[in-house]
């Protein structure tokens, strides 16, 4: 009941011309005999239909190409595929198939003509159109697109005269044609398509050149007698001349004639192109000593006046004699000729200047070369004859006097000798101008350039300059502390000027190289201890790498200054004292002594007895002590029966800041004397209660701490006193909250704890110059008692900040010829340190050009740059000045790594408009066009071309911008 059908009603196939297959099956929902049974294809000679039984999928039709396709004949083929089932009646379904034939490059281009011919006059202008070559290609797309080119084997001859448009095939004249050189050009033009495999054909072009009268006749004087005697008979030949014309036909025909009012005539030879000039009557020198004879030559087209000229200068040095052979050729067939020998002798004139054998003489010599040594020999030759060719040597006119003092040149031989000792460190390269002059009149000369390069020898010892030194170094200086800044220099160059620095062994210092070459810092290598070594004798050795090596020694004396880092020490602690009772009050009973390794105030010791509470029968209240000598006096007579033993403490304190102290415990034993009748005693023990608060001897303690102190450094604080004993005495300390410090308790050998203030993180005076803390001492009583002391810390400034310029670059303009003393610019730097550490001095950086020091002066205190010499634009138009700002700290801080440049631009006045012009250097100032024009104008001025038209135009342009 259903007919076969396709999923589509139309199908378009793209086929190449080669054979191939394709398929597209129909579908029939019926089964069995009613299902799809066969396919039919409409009639076509190019395709046939094949089917394949695929089982469940039914029959699949295949379209098979059985004959080659040709797109150029038929680009499309329309077919109908019919599907037929087996039912009765039969049902069918159709599919329209369009086969589109894709193009391949199977056709070569075809020229429209087998040969193209064109005729052109030889005076045709450049760009004149000749002809149009046209080729077609039956293919399509790139396969049918055509390009034209000259065939390679003909390209060299034709490409200089003709130009071919590769797209249109138009042929144009490119160069100058000359009929006299070539009359016919055969050109092969290749027409190629753009297929993947290109096909091409050749088009032949014939170009004929027509002659025009473009060559004037020429007269060639083959023989000339410049002087003839006045009695010469008529017919004397004065000159022989030949006339030629390169043109052909009527253009090449010539007629030669003379004026009628002179006693000479032309006689034409049998060959019409040759003439003899003869006198036709006697000549009289007294009547007319000189004849200027014009010869008129006319060709067949127009009259021309030829000039009788010497084609090139004679040169005796090239040819002393000229032997010429004049050949006259007639126009017969075969042609005949005649010869004439002419001998010309050329007399010498001084027309050649001496020539140096080398464009540049270059040599090298060691700076220790002996005086009188011949360095080189300058040689110049002169091809002239006699005196004209004799050469003498002397210094050039612009030779510097200093060079003439150092070298001498031999007048005859040209030998250059050393006249004076040479020093590489003064001048490395000498440029000499030696003038070679001949003896002709007038004499001619040439400058022979000589370059002498001096080779350095190791003749200079290194020099050591101590730019700053800290002769007294505190012994608590941290490792890395800068003691001295050292600069080493060596006038020699290369490896002779390379320096290695070292220190003597066994010193607590080392050298640290700076970012600048040959700059060193002498720094501490470890911790110093004055008590072990109080003075260092540092031997600094600077040794160059030359052969043999030279060295310099410099001794630095560094004293280690004392700091209070040692507490007083007792020889024995604790100490036992045996004292007989009934001693005399007021007399000394004992003396103690402590030593301190420090010096002066740090080592001076004072003594005091640590007092308790007299109410608690503290026996120390009955003692007195000399604070300087340590002698202890008894204020009363001791009684064995009242006290057999007691203990007191002696505190030894030095005078350093902050002071350090140590305690001595003295155990006193009273020796009994038989001074009492027997008495019975009752012993009563008194128990201590916490009735005393810890107390400090002062309300405030002042500490001065350098901001360079490293974390971990400690500072002793004042300990609190508590009259109570045992658990009621001071047990611990508390410190108010701070991020910079922490508290540490140390045992002093007894029951008391010493509070130590330890630095937790680095201080910065510029951020916070004071720290106020509270130290609280707490006893162990119940309830506990406490006492406080204010710790006032002042942060001492350290030279830890470098000066900073307010601008990274100062750019100013100064007029040339500005008066001396004019302030050009003022640089300014600031330093946030205080005191000398913040005071700034200014200086020029080292190694500036000499003309900077000669032209400008710098005020070291204000930073003002003033003019001290002549400012001349033509000598120098841009100055780059490096300024160093240094503080007065020890050691000083300076901008070693960054030198701020001051660019000083000169200005001048336009010689054309009178307006002031400033020339900007190529450093990004101004827009690109203005910078470029300014740079060109600066070059013209510095090269003294300021009168040129280009300079005038650029000056007017800059003035018009009104930017300068």
When pLDDT is cut at 50, 70 and 90, the band that residue 56 belongs to is: low
Range in 114-118, 152-156, 472-476 the model is least confident about: 152-156
pLDDT of residue 229: 63
Higher pLDDT, 601 or 240: 601
Mean pLDDT of 348-371: 87
The reported pTM is: 0.37
pLDDT higher than threshold 70 for residue 295: no
Give how far the C-alpha of residue 490 lies from the chain's centroid of Cα atoms, to the nearest Å: 26
- pLDDT tens for 537-551 read 889 999 988 888 899
Percent of the chain with pLDDT over 70: 79
pLDDT higher than threshold 60 for residue 927: no
d(C-alpha 301, C-alpha 228), whole Å: 36
d(C-alpha 28, C-alpha 50), whole Å: 19
**Could you give the 3-state DSSP secondary structure of residue 155?**
helix
The DSSP symbol for 57 reads G
d(C-alpha 490, C-alpha 498), whole Å: 7
- pLDDT tens for 360-399 read 999 998 888 889 999 899 999 988 888 888 999 999 888 8
pLDDT of residue 152: 66
Give me the residues paired with residue 148 across strands. 191
119-158 residues labelled b (16+ CB within 10 A) or e (exposed): ebebebeeeeebbebbbebbbeeebbebbbebeeebeeeb
Question: What SS3 string covers 594-608?
Answer: EECCCCHHHHCEEEE
d(C-alpha 611, C-alpha 624), whole Å: 10
Mean pLDDT of 233-252: 75
d(C-alpha 520, C-alpha 500), whole Å: 11
Mean pLDDT of 555-561: 90
pLDDT higher than threshold 50 for residue 316: yes
Is residue 427 within 8 Å of 454, Cβ to Cβ?
A: yes
d(C-alpha 128, C-alpha 627), whole Å: 126
d(C-alpha 945, C-alpha 952), whole Å: 10
When pLDDT is cut at 50, 70 and 90, the band that residue 64 belongs to is: confident
When pLDDT is cut at 50, 70 and 90, the band that residue 416 belongs to is: very high
pLDDT of residue 363: 92
Q: What are the residues whose beta carbons fall under 8 Å from the beta carbon of 64, sequence distance 6 or more?
A: 19, 21, 47, 48, 49, 50
CB-hemisphere CA count at 13 Å for 799? Answer: 20
Question: CA dihedral in degrees (24, 30, 32, 36; nearest 10)?
Answer: -30
pLDDT higher than threshold 50 for residue 886: yes
In terms of Cα–Cα distance, which of 219, 366, 245 is closest to 302? 245
Is residue 793 within 8 Å of 772, Cβ to Cβ?
A: yes
Higher pLDDT, 417 or 907: 417
Q: What are the residues whose beta carbons fall under 8 Å from the beta carbon of 712, sequence distance 6 or more?
A: 758, 759
What sign has the CA pseudo-torsion 586, 588, 593, 598? positive
When pLDDT is cut at 50, 70 and 90, the band that residue 209 belongs to is: confident
d(C-alpha 904, C-alpha 811), whole Å: 6
Q: What are the residues whose beta carbons fall under 8 Å from the beta carbon of 901, sequence distance 6 or more?
A: 809, 810, 880, 881, 882
**Could you give the 3-state DSSP secondary structure of residue 625?**
strand
pLDDT higher than threshold 60 for residue 661: yes
pLDDT higher than threshold 50 for residue 908: no
Mean pLDDT of 889-907: 49
**CB 936: neighbour CB atoms within 10 A?**
13
pLDDT of residue 909: 44
pLDDT of residue 773: 93
pLDDT of residue 685: 72
Q: What are the residues whose beta carbons fall under 8 Å from the beta carbon of 476, sequence distance 6 or more?
A: 528, 563, 565
The DSSP symbol for 346 reads P
Beta strands (DSSP E) in 713-832 are 714-716, 730-735, 741-747, 753-759, 770-779, 786-796, 804-805, 810-815, 823-826, 829-830
Mean pLDDT of 338-351: 61
When pLDDT is cut at 50, 70 and 90, the band that residue 74 belongs to is: confident
The helix (run of H) or strand (run of E) holding residue 263 is none
pLDDT of residue 101: 84
Geometric angle at alpha carbon 214, from 208 and 216, rounded to 5° = 145
pLDDT higher than threshold 50 for residue 728: yes
- pLDDT tens for 465-502 read 888 888 889 988 889 888 888 999 988 888 888 888 88
Beta strands (DSSP E) in 673-783 are 700-706, 714-716, 730-735, 741-747, 753-759, 770-779
The DSSP symbol for 5 reads B
- Is residue 249 reached through a cis peptide bond, with omega within 30 degrees of 0 on the bond before it? no
The helix (run of H) or strand (run of E) holding residue 403 is helix 401-406
pLDDT higher than threshold 80 for residue 344: no
Mean pLDDT of 416-423: 90
pLDDT of residue 304: 36
When pLDDT is cut at 50, 70 and 90, the band that residue 290 belongs to is: low
pLDDT of residue 604: 92
When pLDDT is cut at 50, 70 and 90, the band that residue 60 belongs to is: confident
Calculate the alpha carbon distances from 805 to 830, 862, 867 in Å: 7, 13, 22
pLDDT higher than threshold 50 for residue 174: yes
Per DSSP, the residues of 840-863 read: EEEEEPTT--HHHHHHEEE-TTT-
| CB-count burial class (<10 Å; 0-12, 13-18, 19+) for 352 | buried
Beta strands (DSSP E) in 626-688 are 631-634, 645-654, 661-671
| CB-count burial class (<10 Å; 0-12, 13-18, 19+) for 587 | exposed
Range in 182-191, 232-241, 306-315 the model is least confident about: 306-315
Q: Which of 267-281, 864-878, 908-922, 923-937 holds the top average pLDDT?
A: 864-878
When pLDDT is cut at 50, 70 and 90, the band that residue 613 belongs to is: low
Is residue 825 within 8 Å of 841, Cβ to Cβ?
A: no
pLDDT higher than threshold 50 for residue 695: yes
pLDDT of residue 936: 61
When pLDDT is cut at 50, 70 and 90, the band that residue 451 belongs to is: very high
When pLDDT is cut at 50, 70 and 90, the band that residue 789 belongs to is: very high
Range in 212-216, 375-379, 794-798 the model is least confident about: 212-216
Give φ, ψ of 854 to 5 degrees: -75, -25
Beta strands (DSSP E) in 357-462 are 360-366, 374-377, 380-381, 391-395, 407-409, 415-418, 429-438, 445-455
d(C-alpha 622, C-alpha 175), whole Å: 134
d(C-alpha 460, C-alpha 453), whole Å: 19
Is residue 856 within 8 Å of 820, Cβ to Cβ?
A: no
Higher pLDDT, 281 or 631: 631
**CB 661: neighbour CB atoms within 10 A?**
19
**Could you give the 3-state DSSP secondary structure of residue 441?**
coil
Mean pLDDT of the chain: 79
d(C-alpha 103, C-alpha 137), whole Å: 12
Percent of the chain with pLDDT over 90: 14
Q: What are the residues whose beta carbons fall under 8 Å from the beta carbon of 175, sequence distance 6 or more?
A: 126, 160, 161, 162
pLDDT of residue 949: 61
**CB 508: neighbour CB atoms within 10 A?**
19
pLDDT higher than threshold 60 for residue 455: yes
pLDDT of residue 642: 84
When pLDDT is cut at 50, 70 and 90, the band that residue 612 belongs to is: low
Mean pLDDT of 736-748: 87
Give how far the C-alpha of residue 583 lies from the chain's centroid of Cα atoms, to the nearest Å: 93
Angle between helices 949-961 and 928-942 (to 10 degrees): 140
Q: How would you list the strands of the sheet with 21-23, edge to edge?
A: 21-23, 59-65, 47-53
When pLDDT is cut at 50, 70 and 90, the band that residue 306 belongs to is: very low
pLDDT of residue 311: 40
pLDDT higher than threshold 60 for residue 156: no
The DSSP symbol for 1 reads -
Mean pLDDT of 894-903: 38
């Amino acid at each position: 009941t259903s007919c076969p059908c396709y999923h589509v009603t139309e199908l378009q196939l793209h086929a190449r011309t080669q054979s191939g297959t394709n398929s597209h099956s129909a579908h029939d929902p019926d089964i069995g005999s009613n299902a799809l049974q066969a396919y039919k294809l409409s009639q076509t000679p190019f395709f046939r239909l094949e089917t394949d039984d695929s089982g469940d999928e039914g029959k699949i039709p295949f379209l098979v190409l059985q004959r080659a396709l040709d797109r150029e004949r038929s680009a499309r083929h329309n077919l109908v595929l019919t599907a037929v089932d087996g039912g009765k009646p039969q049902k069918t379904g159709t599919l329209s198939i369009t086969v589109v034939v894709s193009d391949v490059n199977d056709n070569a281009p075809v020229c429209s003509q087998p040969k193209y011919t064109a005729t052109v006059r030889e005076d045709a202008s450049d760009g004149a159109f000749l002809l149009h070559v046209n080729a077609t290609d039956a293919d399509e797309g790139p396969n049918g697109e055509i390009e034209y080119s000259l065939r390679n084997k003909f390209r060299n001859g034709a490409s200089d005269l003709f130009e071919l448009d590769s797209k249109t095939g138009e042929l144009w004249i490119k160069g100058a044609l000359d009929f006299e050189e070539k009359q016919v050009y055969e050109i092969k033009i290749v027409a190629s398509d753009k297929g993947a495999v290109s096909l091409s054909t050749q088009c032949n072009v014939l170009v004929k050149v027509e002659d025009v009268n473009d060559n004037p006749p020429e007269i060639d004087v083959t023989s000339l007698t410049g002087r003839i005697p006045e009695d010469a008979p008529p017919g004397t030949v004065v000159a022989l001349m030949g006339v030629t014309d390169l043109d052909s036909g009527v253009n090449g025909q010539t007629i030669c004639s003379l004026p009628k009012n002179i006693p000479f005539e032309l006689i034409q030879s049998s060959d019409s192109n040759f003439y003899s000039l003869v006198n036709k009557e006697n000549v009289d020198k007294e009547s007319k000593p000189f004849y200027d004879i014009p010869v008129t030559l006319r060709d067949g087209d127009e009259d021309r006046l030829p000039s009788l000229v010497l084609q090139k200068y004679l040169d005796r040095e090239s040819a002393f004699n000229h032997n010429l052979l004049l050949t006259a050729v007639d126009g017969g067939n075969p042609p005949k000729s005649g010869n004439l020998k002419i001998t010309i002798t050329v007399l010498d004139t001084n027309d050649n200047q001496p020539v140096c054998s080398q464009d540049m003489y270059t040599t090298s010599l060691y700076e220790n070369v002996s005086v009188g040594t011949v360095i080189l020999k300058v040689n110049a030759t002169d091809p002239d004859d006699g005196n004209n060719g004799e050469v003498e040597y002397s210094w050039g006119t612009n030779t510097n006097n200093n060079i003439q003092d150092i070298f001498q040149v031999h007048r005859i031989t040209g030998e250059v000798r050393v006249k004076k000792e040479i020093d590489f460190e003064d001048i490395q390269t000498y440029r000499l101008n030696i003038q070679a002059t001949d003896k002709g009149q007038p004499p001619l000369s040439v400058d022979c350039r000589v370059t002498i390069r001096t080779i350095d020898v190791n003749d200079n010892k290194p020099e050591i300059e101590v730019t700053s030194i800290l002769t007294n170094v505190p012994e608590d200086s941290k490792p890395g502390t800068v003691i001295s800044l050292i600069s080493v220099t060596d006038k020699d160059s290369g490896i002779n000027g390379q320096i290695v620095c070292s220190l003597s062994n066994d010193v607590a210092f080392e050298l640290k190289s700076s970012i600048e070459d040959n700059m060193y810092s002498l720094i501490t290598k470890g911790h110093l201890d004055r008590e072990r070594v109080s003075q260092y004798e540092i031997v600094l050795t600077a040794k160059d790498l030359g052969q043999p090596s030279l060295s310099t020694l410099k001794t630095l004396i560094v004293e280690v200054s004392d700091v209070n880092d040692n507490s007083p020490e007792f020889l024995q602690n604790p100490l036992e004292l045996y004292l007989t009772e009934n001693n005399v009050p007021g007399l000394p009973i004992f003396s103690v002594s402590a030593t301190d390794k420090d010096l002066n105030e740090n080592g001076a010791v004072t003594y005091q007895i640590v007092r308790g509470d007299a109410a608690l029968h503290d026996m120390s209240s009955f003692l007195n002590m000399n604070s300087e000598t340590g002698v202890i006096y008894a204020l009363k007579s001791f009684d064995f029966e009242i006290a057999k033993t007691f203990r007191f403490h002696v505190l030894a304190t030095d005078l350093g800041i902050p002071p350090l102290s140590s305690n001595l415990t003295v155990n006193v034993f009273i020796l009994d004397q038989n001074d009492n009748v027997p008495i019975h005693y009752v012993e009563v023990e008194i128990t201590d209660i916490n009735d005393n608060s810890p107390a400090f001897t002062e309300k405030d303690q002042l500490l001065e701490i350098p901001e360079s102190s490293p974390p971990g450094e400690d500072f002793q604080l004042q300990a609190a006193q508590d009259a109570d004993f045992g658990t009621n005495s001071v047990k611990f300390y508390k410190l108010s909250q701070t991020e910079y410090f922490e508290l540490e308790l140390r045992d002093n050998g007894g029951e008391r704890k010493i509070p130590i203030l330890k630095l937790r993180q680095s201080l910065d005076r510029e951020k916070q110059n004071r720290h106020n803390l509270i130290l609280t001492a707490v006893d162990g009583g119940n309830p506990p008692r406490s006492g406080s002391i204010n710790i006032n810390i002042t942060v001492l400034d350290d030279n830890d900040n470098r000066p900073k310029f307010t601008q990274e670059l100062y750019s100013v303009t100064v007029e040339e010829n500005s008066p001396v003393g004019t302030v050009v610019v003022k640089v300014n730097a600031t330093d946030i340190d205080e005191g000398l550490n913040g005071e700034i001095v200014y200086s020029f950086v080292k190694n500036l050009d000499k003309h900077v020091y000669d032209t400008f002066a710098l005020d070291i205190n204000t930073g003002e740059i003033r003019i001290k010499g002549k400012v001349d634009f033509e000598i120098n138009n841009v100055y780059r000045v490096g300024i160093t700002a240094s503080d007065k700290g020890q050691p000083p801080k300076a901008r070693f790594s960054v030198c701020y440049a001051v660019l000083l631009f000169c200005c001048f006045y336009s010689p054309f408009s009178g307006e002031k012009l400033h020339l900007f250097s190529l450093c990004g100032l101004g827009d690109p066009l203005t910078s470029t024009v300014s740079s060109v104008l600066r070059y013209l001025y510095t090269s003294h071309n300021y009168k040129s038209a280009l300079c005038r135009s650029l000056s007017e342009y800059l003035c018009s911008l009104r930017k300068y």
